[in-house]
Amino acid sequence: MVEKDYEATLKSYCNVYEEVGNIYDDSADDILRDCNIITDDNDRYRLNSRFVEYRCPYLIPFMHFNEITQQYTVHTSASIDIIKEIFYALKYENINVKDWLQLERILKVANEWKLNDVKRCVVQKFVDGINEENCISVWRMCAKYLPDQIKKTFDYVLYTVNKSVTNGYNIDFFRLKSKNLFEILNADLLKVNDEMDVWILLKRWISVDRRRRIPYYRQLMKSIRFNLLNDEQKDEIKKDLVRFKITKTDDQSTLWSMNSQARIQRDLLLAIGGWEKTGPTNAVEVLDINGDRWQRVKTFEDNRRVAYHECVVINNKLYIIGGFEGSQYFNTVRCYDSEAKKWCELAPMHYARCYISACEINGRIIVAGGSDGRLRLRTAETYDASKNQWTKIRNMIQRRSDAAACAMGGKMFVAGGYTGEVVLQTIEMYIPEIDIWTEIAHMSSPRSGKQTISR
């Protein structure tokens, strides 16, 4: 009962503090701001002692009370900027800092002060800014502080590490521990051209500190799928092992992985639906780049036949929008979740559309034009996946179906198409921030039923 009353009292103090004074507000009542956190540079940060006790209990043993001033003091080696950001994060559950080094300093202090909420905020900031240079550091941070993001960040590492190391972007690769390196090189989802790339990555890692790292080679070599190498590649690796005095020619039989399973292809070219001799189809084919052939993937197929639709990919989800099945024009949206491996129906568009134009901008789908079976459309709308909701936006300047769309620089470009009477050579640009369509330079000739791409 006493513990519950004490916690209720602390919450009460915090609630009063929240209402009366902001933790950054120097004009707040001094009675409320009765705790001084003093840095080595003698900078002072003032806030409510009850707030400190409730949100940062680690500091309680270091709080010294002065009977004369009726104030608490806490001495810390952390800088005033770090302290401000930590208590801002404690209050608002957010971090405004963008500088990588400053975030690392905040994380260090938050870890020392056992502030799990602040640590999660900081690491989430790293996750949001993940790139080829920092992805390994972010992955290891998540393993320590934010477990629910490990899968996402590790997947990013697997997708980019070969390219980033080859191009000299990823210094953290060479600092990996052997067990983490094996986890990467052994993964089915590692994006490599062939198993020779795995050997090259392994060689580069060993070459940084050969004396200390050569003892790990026997285990690490098991990440290379020997049976997927051609004879020339096998001979090259064997010669490398002898040349580097890693092993003798006759001592290699136990090194290799007997895993003959090809790594999972990361970049896929899919052909989904369309019109066959008998009408619309639900067939899905994928291009096998290594085998230079198309293969039908029945396990990936939806039960709905559709043609003249549009496809958009966002993260791990594929969206099939609108289309025509021979008698009905769809306003429906079907979504394939590659992680859950299943199809689902999402909120429908406001208008049925086939011969539609669509693209993704900043995580949202924008669709424009098309045909509803009676008219060519000027209407446009946008889809917010977080809300599963379509919202109408400003109409295009001209009606058009069979146009091509792409995104570039945060804007949508819709080119050419057909009004129902004439083929167009105009191009319209949509600016989402101000919800405006504007015409830009025309194409040299009218075109319909084509495609565009941006890079």
Residue 337 has pLDDT above 50, yes or no: yes
Q: Which position has the higher pLDDT, 5 or 206?
A: 206
Residue 370 has pLDDT above 90, yes or no: yes
Percent above pLDDT 70 for the chain: 90
| Last residue of one domain, picked from the residues 42, 70, 91 | 91
Structure token digits, residue 363: 């995580």
Provide mean pLDDT across the span 298-327: 91
pLDDT for the residue 97 = 87
Residue 2 has pLDDT above 70, yes or no: no
- Out of 216-220, 285-289, 420-424, least confident range: 285-289
With contact defined as beta carbons under 8 Å apart, do 400 and 369 qualify?
yes
Provide mean pLDDT across the span 177-203: 95
Residue 82 has pLDDT above 60, yes or no: yes
Residue 315 lies in a domain: yes
Question: Across all residues in the chain, what is the average pLDDT?
Answer: 88
Residue 400 lies in a domain: yes
- Out of 47-51, 134-138, 357-361, least confident range: 47-51
Give the model's confidence band at 31: pLDDT under 50 very low, under 70 low, under 90 confident, else very high: low
Q: What is the pLDDT of residues 208-260, one digit of tens each?
A: 998 899 889 888 999 999 888 889 998 898 888 888 776 655 455 556 667 77
Provide mean pLDDT across the span 135-142: 94
| Last residue of one domain, picked from the residues 38, 68, 91 | 91
Residue 122 lies in a domain: no
The domain of 278 spans 270-440
pLDDT for the residue 298 = 82
Residue 325 has pLDDT above 50, yes or no: yes
Q: How many folded domains does the chain comprise? A: 2
| pTM strictly above 0.85 | no
**Could you tell me which residues come within 8 angstroms of residue 59 by beta carbon, excluding any fewer than 6 positions away?**
37, 52, 74, 113
pLDDT for the residue 290 = 66
The torsion angles phi and psi of 37, rounded to 5 degrees, stand at: -95, 120
pLDDT for the residue 15 = 44
pLDDT for the residue 253 = 53
The CATH number of whichever domain residue 18 belongs to comes to: 3.30.710.10
Provide mean pLDDT across the span 377-386: 97
Residue 81 has pLDDT above 80, yes or no: yes
Q: Which position has the higher pLDDT, 248 or 172?
A: 172
Amino acid at site 429: M
Closest alpha carbon to 183 in 222, 238, 225, 137: 222
Residue 413 lies in a domain: yes
pLDDT for the residue 21 = 38
| Last residue of one domain, picked from the residues 45, 73, 91 | 91
Q: What is the pLDDT of residues 268-277, one digit of tens each?
A: 889 999 999 9
pLDDT for the residue 382 = 98
The CATH number of whichever domain residue 435 belongs to comes to: 2.120.10.80
Q: Which position has the higher pLDDT, 221 or 380?
A: 380
Q: Which position has the higher pLDDT, 315 or 354?
A: 354
Structure token digits, residue 142: 């998540």
Distances, alpha carbon 155 to alpha carbons 150, 190, 287, in Å? 8, 8, 22
Residue 338 lies in a domain: yes
pLDDT for the residue 30 = 59
Residue 297 lies in a domain: yes
Q: Which position has the higher pLDDT, 364 or 242?
A: 364
Distances, alpha carbon 327 to alpha carbons 8, 192, 311, 323, 324, in Å? 65, 45, 21, 11, 7
CA separation for the pair 197, 382 (Å, rounded): 42
Q: What is the pLDDT of residues 407-417, one digit of tens each?
A: 999 999 999 99
Give the model's confidence band at 4: pLDDT under 50 very low, under 70 low, under 90 confident, else very high: very low
Residue 150's Cβ-side half-sphere holds a number of Cα atoms within 13 Å equal to 10
Residue 143 lies in a domain: no
Other beta carbons within 10 Å of 205: 22
Residue 57 lies in a domain: yes
pLDDT for the residue 6 = 42
Give the model's confidence band at 32: pLDDT under 50 very low, under 70 low, under 90 confident, else very high: confident
